[in-house]
């Protein structure tokens, strides 16, 4: 883990962040087609959203196993738009197998409104976990791999970013993923409301 990553992790999970503005809108950006479509639409068409971009944070959990072409495309087409609109983009990921609600085991690679690099390599790749356990990622069902590599990372980070205030959590499930959206909505709380723009 780099010194920069250590420094940014300390700033995100320290008391220094208590004076920062807490966003009311959070987009889980999985780097795929669906969430990219949502994000670029919001950036280029203000009528497609009912909030100001200054109240949005985009967050990605890096699993360490994205295709290099995905990283190149996001750096070429998406990051310039985030910079142009000064949208806060947070990149996080595991640096060990398990993480905690207090942020232990989580590295913050970048937290900026001027992103110029995608940290697709992560710090602890999902493939490392799979190879060590002698198993393969699930393509359906409970998706436990995603829960550990993404959900367990995103939950404490989003809680820290929003400061316990009510927020809308946008996920790019498309119309054929109604079951996933229904499971996700089961995690709603008094603070969190899941929203699915592509539905």
* pLDDT tens digits, one per residue of 68-124: 888 899 999 999 999 999 999 999 987 655 555 555 678 899 999 999 999 887 655
Contact criterion met (CB below 8 Å) for 111 and 9: no
pLDDT at 70: 87
The string of pLDDT tens digits covering residues 115-157 is: 999 988 765 555 555 555 556 555 555 444 455 556 678 998 9
Higher pLDDT, 34 or 124: 34
d(CA 88, CA 59): 8
- Which of 7-16, 57-66, 180-189 shows the lowest mean pLDDT across its residues? 7-16
pLDDT at 153: 83
Structure confidence at residue 63 as a pLDDT band (50, 70, 90): confident
Give the pLDDT confidence score for residue 49 in this predicted structure. 96
Distance CA 39, CA 29 (A): 8
Euclidean distance between CA atoms 65 and 125, whole angstroms? 6
Residues 46 and 85: their CA atoms lie apart, in Å, by 11
Kindly indicate the confidence band of residue 5, based on its pLDDT and cuts at 50, 70 and 90: very low
Work out the angle between the directed axes of helices 152-162 and 3-12 (0-180°, nearest 10): 60
- For 70, counting Cβ atoms within 10 Å of its Cβ (0-12 exposed, 13-18 middle, 19+ buried), the class is middle
Inter-residue contact 99 to 152 (CB < 8 Å): yes
Q: Would you state the pLDDT for residue 80?
A: 98
Question: What pLDDT digit, counting tens, does each position of 141-199 carry?
Answer: 544 445 555 667 899 899 999 998 999 999 999 999 999 999 999 999 999 999 999 98
Q: In 3-state terms, what secondary structure has residue 54?
A: helix
**β-pairing, 192-195 with 167-170?**
parallel
pLDDT at 93: 86
Q: What is the pTM of this model?
A: 0.80
Q: What is the tens place of the pLDDT at every residue in 16-30?
A: 554 567 999 999 999
């Amino acid at each position: 883990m780099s010194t920069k990553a250590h420094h940014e992790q300390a700033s995100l999970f320290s008391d220094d962040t208590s004076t920062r503005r807490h966003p009311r809108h959070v987009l889980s950006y999985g780097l795929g087609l669906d969430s990219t479509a949502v994000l670029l639409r919001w950036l280029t068409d203000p009528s497609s959203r009912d909030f100001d971009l200054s109240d949005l944070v985009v967050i990605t959990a890096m699993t360490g196993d994205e295709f290099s072409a995905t990283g190149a495309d996001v750096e070429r087409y998406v990051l310039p738009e985030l910079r142009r609109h000064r949208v806060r983009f947070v990149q996080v990921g595991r640096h060990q197998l398990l993480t905690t609600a207090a942020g232990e085991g989580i590295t913050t690679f970048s937290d900026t409104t001027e992103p110029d690099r995608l940290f697709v390599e992560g710090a602890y790749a999902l493939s490392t976990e799979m190879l060590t356990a002698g198993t393969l990622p699930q393509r359906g069902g409970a998706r436990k791999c995603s829960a550990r590599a993404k959900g367990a990372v995103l939950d404490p980070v989003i809680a820290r970013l929003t400061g316990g205030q009510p927020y809308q959590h946008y996920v790019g499930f498309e119309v054929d993923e109604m079951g996933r959206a229904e499971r996700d909505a089961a995690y709603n709380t008094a603070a969190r409301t899941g929203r699915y723009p592509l539905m």
